[in-house]
Amino acid sequence: MAMFNWLQKKIAYALLEESLSLEELAKAIGENPLDTEKALKEMLALKVVNESSGLFSLSEEVKAEFRKKQEIREQAKPKLELQAYIEARGLSKKAVLEQMKHIEESLKKQQAIVLYSISHAEPEKQGELYTGHIELAFGVKSFTALVQLMYFYAPSAIEVIRPAKAEFTAFDLQEALNEMAEFIFKYNAYIARNLKKAEIDAFYKELFQGNQK
């Protein structure tokens, strides 16, 4: 199932229990009718929403996915729910597909991650390399688990879905910060061993300039 953006999520939840017209839907989610109509057209093209006599409804497949996710959430009770996008690159399409398969299998084995859904797009050639993307919807029970995912899988983008506010214990934050310190120390040691001084200086210059934007 394709991942939804924030507006499509609101539409999906509104249509989960009943069919609605465009006007009823826009009012129910509190959004502009034109924006709602545009999002609906995209969802119709993806075949995740159906239309009959001016009424819109979720496909049975999407309803089942939403209910499955709700069951997982109620059992696991994650602290945070997120979406992440992980890139894989290689010289051949086959190599990228194998890399994405390995990443997906590894993610499914992670005990600290509550996995809702995972999918990937076919690799496309960009310049000299093929690039593929993995889309991941998941939850974490601790801040430490999120830090580990960030370092082990290096997502290119991540979005916090819920809640708007979250609380973590001082112990969890300490564990996460120690994990970060260890990872950073290892990266610095690797860079120092494998790059020349001019390359290191150029790397840090670019890194710090990027942080100042």
Q: What is the pLDDT of residues 58-87, one digit of tens each?
A: 998 888 887 887 788 788 788 899 989 999
Residues facing residue 77 across a β-bridge: none
* CB within 8 Å of 95: residues ≥ 6 apart: 130
Question: What percent of the chain has pLDDT above 70?
Answer: 95
Better pLDDT: 69 or 204: 69
User: Architecture of 77-167 per CATH?
Assistant: 2-Layer Sandwich (3.30)
- Mean pLDDT, all residues of the chain: 87
Look at the domain 6-64 and name its fold: Arc Repressor Mutant, subunit A (1.10.10)
d(CA 116, CA 73): 9
Q: Is the pTM of this model over 0.75?
A: no
Q: In the 8-state DSSP scheme, what is residue 54?
A: T
User: What's the rounded mean pLDDT across residues 30-59?
Assistant: 92
